[in-house]
Structure 1
C-alpha cells in the first residue's frame, strides 16, 4: 500500500528519493548569541536525510521576525555559515532540503528579541503566548521553556511592509548561498503573512487591506520578490486556511484563499504545502476541497497533519497530493522511510516533552535507528 509513498518523485528540477517530506518543526536549539545554526542541528537534519525532502524548522528572515527564543535566523553571515553546515551534512547523505522563511508578525514579545512586535494592524492575538528559556538551577528542568504573554503590536506602515518584503528576498538569497535546494515561504499558522490574509487580524484600509483582494497583496509581493531572487522552481508556499488557532478565525478566509491559489498558480511557484490541523477534534478536509485545489493549482501539492501511511497512500493514489509531510514521526524515527517500508512502527515519543524545544542532544539526536 505504501509503495507509491516510497517511490521516487521529481519536484521540478529536483529528484527526490521518495514522496515523504519531513515537516517543519520548531526545535529551538540555535546557538546564542545570534541564533546561529550549529553542529548539533546539522547532525539532527542529516540523520533524517532519508526523507525525500526536508523542510527546516521555521527560520526568521530578520530579528524583527523572531517570536520564540533560540529559533535560527537567515539574515546574518554567521547564520548563513551555520546553515551551510546543515545543508552540506544533508547533501552528503543524499538528501534534499528547503529552508522555511518566517516572520511571526504579532506573535512575539520584547522578552524574546527586544523589539515591539509589528503586524498588519495593532490587534493582539487572544490566548496566545510565546516562550523564552530560563536556565536557572532551581527550575524543575534547567532549560525549560517559560511562556510569556504577547506584547501589543505596532501597525506596520508601508515602509515597514517594503522592508519586510526585502527581508524575505534577501533571506531567500542567503538560503541559496547556504546551499539549500529551495525555500518555503511560511504563509500559515497565524504568523505575519497569514495575519495579512485574514480580515480579523488585518483591519487596514489601504492597498494592503480592506478586501480579500487587497489582503492577498503582501503575500503576492513577497512571492514575486523571492521568485525574482532565486527562481520559481525553488519556491514553495505553506498555507493553512482550515486552521484558526492564534485567534485567526475569519469567515472570509476561503474566499481569500482561492484568490491566493490563483495568484500563486500564475506566479508558477513550485508547490503548495497545506498545513492541516492534527488534533483529535480537528475539522475534516472535504474531498471537494482537495479536488478543487488540484484543479486550480498547476504545481505540486504537499499535505501535512498527522497522516498515517494508509491515509498518505490514499491521497497519493487519488491524485489529491504529490507529497505527504510527517512531523512527530520523523522527530522520533530518523529512519522513518525504512520503517514504513518494512511495516515497523515509529519509535514512541520519549518522556522528555520539555526537550521538544530547547535543550541539547537528549530528545533531539538520540532517538534510535532500526538495526
Structure 2
C-alpha cells in the first residue's frame, strides 16, 4: 500500500509530489458566458496549496454541451486568457493543474442552452432510479453531430495545452455525454455508435483518438490525460459493474495516464448481488491489477479515510472536505488532525466563506439527492 506523501511519475512524464488530488467539483463561480472570475481564481488558489494536483470543475467543450449557468468554458479561443490565469494560479501553489473537460449532453438545463433542446446518443430522457424523469427528452445526435463533438474535445485539449495546464481529465462519469454513449439506458442507437458494448464504446474510442492527436500535435512538454467514470447506474437498463469491467479493459489498453472512479463513498458496495465481498473500489483496483493508476474518491475527511482509501487506489481525491477546510492537507502533513473540520457539510458551509453563487449552490445541493 502506498502512503499519501509519496511522489509519482505518470506514463506521460508528469510527476506529482504526493497522492492527494483535489477532486473536480461544480461551483457555479464562472461568469454566465463561461469566462473565469476572480472569485474562482481565489477559490482554487486557497485549496491548491498542499495537494499533488488540482482537477478543476468541468469546462464545456462546445456551447451546446453547456450543463448549467456559471460553468467554465473551453469552447473557443476567446477563453484562453482566463484559462491561462487558472492554470498559473494552481501551479503557483505547487500543484499540478488538470482541467476537466466535458459535454453535458441530455443533462444540460434549458437555461444553460437558452431554451435549445439538449442532445444525446438517443432521444431518451435521463431518469432517477425511481423511474421519474430527470431531464427533458434530448435530440438524438446525427453522425455529423458526433464527429463535431469528438473534434471539439480535441480542440479543447489544444486549448488546455496552450493555456499551460499539465493535463486534462475526460469527464466520462455522472450521467454526462461520454457516459451517455456507453450506457444502454441513454444509447439506443442501431448504427456503429450503439448496440453492443463494443459499439457503445466506439464514441469513447474515437474521442480518445481525437484528444491524443491534439496532444501529439501541440504538446511541447509532458501532458497528462485522465478519464473519470461512474461504475454503475441506478436505472434499468443501465451500466453495471460488469459493463465497467469491460470499459476498464478497453481504457487500460490506451495511453491514458490514470482512471478516476466517481463514488459517493470510497467504501461503497455494488448494487449487484454478485459483488458484495468488498467495495467497488477494491473490485476495480484488483481488476486493474496495476495496468493503470486508479484515483479513488468519496467521503475522505481524515487521516483514517486517506489510509483506508489508499489500500485500494494509487491516489485519493478529496472534494467536499477541501470545500469547507481549505488547509486540510497542511493539517494532515503537520499532524494537526484535531484542527480538521468535522462538522456535517450542511452545517460547515454556514461558517465557511463562500461567494453567493457557490453558497446558494451548496445549500441547494445538500437539500437534494446526489447525481451519480
Q: TM-score, normalised by structure 1?
A: 0.82
Task: Give the Cα–Cα distance (whole angstroms) in 2 for the partners of residues 111 and 38 of structure 1.
Answer: 20
Alignment deviations for residues 65-107 of structure 1 (CA, whole Å, 9 cap, x no partner): 1111110101123322111111111222212110001111101
CA contact (8 A) 2:265 2:298 kept: yes
Partner residue, 1:56? 56
Alignment deviations for residues 179-199 of structure 1 (CA, whole Å, 9 cap, x no partner): 110000000011111111111
The Cα of 1:211 is off from its aligned counterpart by: 0.8
CA contact (8 A) 1:212 1:252 kept: no
Q: TM-score, normalised by structure 2?
A: 0.82
Change (3 A) 1:15 1:291: closer
Give the ranges of 4+ consecutive aligned residues of structure 1 lying more than 4 Å apart after TM superposition.
279-284, 352-357, 359-363
Partner residue, 1:237? 227
Partner residue, 1:121? 122
CA contact (8 A) 2:121 2:180 kept: yes
Task: Give the Cα–Cα distance (whole angstroms) in 2 for the partners of residues 303 and 91 of structure 1.
Answer: 23
What are the within-5 Å matches in structure 2 for residues 349-368 of structure 1? 349-351=348-350, 358-359=357-358
> Alignment partner of 1:109: what SS?
coil
> Alignment partner of 1:110: what SS?
coil
| Unaligned ranges ≥5, structure 2 | 217-221, 271-277, 363-372
Partner residue, 1:339? 331
Match of 2:263 among 271, 276, 281: 276
What are the within-5 Å matches in structure 2 for residues 203-242 of structure 1? 203-231=188-216, 234-242=224-232
Task: Give the Cα–Cα distance (whole angstroms) in 1 for the partners of residues 282 and 35 of structure 2.
Answer: 43
The Cα of 1:249 is off from its aligned counterpart by: 4.6
CA contact (8 A) 1:278 1:306 kept: yes
- Kindly indicate whether residue 288 of structure 2 is the aligned counterpart of residue 294 of structure 1: yes
> Alignment partner of 2:330: what SS?
helix
The Cα of 1:361 is off from its aligned counterpart by: 12
Change (3 A) 1:345 1:29: same
Aligned residues, how many?
Answer: 337
Task: Give the Cα–Cα distance (whole angstroms) in 1 for the partners of residues 356 and 233 of structure 2.
Answer: 22
Task: Give the Cα–Cα distance (whole angstroms) in 2 for the partners of residues 207 and 119 of structure 1.
Answer: 15
What are the within-5 Å matches in structure 2 for residues 35-74 of structure 1? 35-49=34-48, 50-74=50-74
Partner residue, 2:242? 255
What is the root-mean-square deviation of aligned Cα atoms in Å? 3.0
CA contact (8 A) 2:60 2:73 kept: yes
* Stretch moving more, 262-271 or 154-163: 262-271
The Cα of 1:277 is off from its aligned counterpart by: 2.2
Partner residue, 1:330? 322
CA contact (8 A) 1:237 1:269 kept: yes
Task: Give the Cα–Cα distance (whole angstroms) in 1 for the partners of residues 361 and 187 of structure 2.
Answer: 41
Partner residue, 2:182? 197
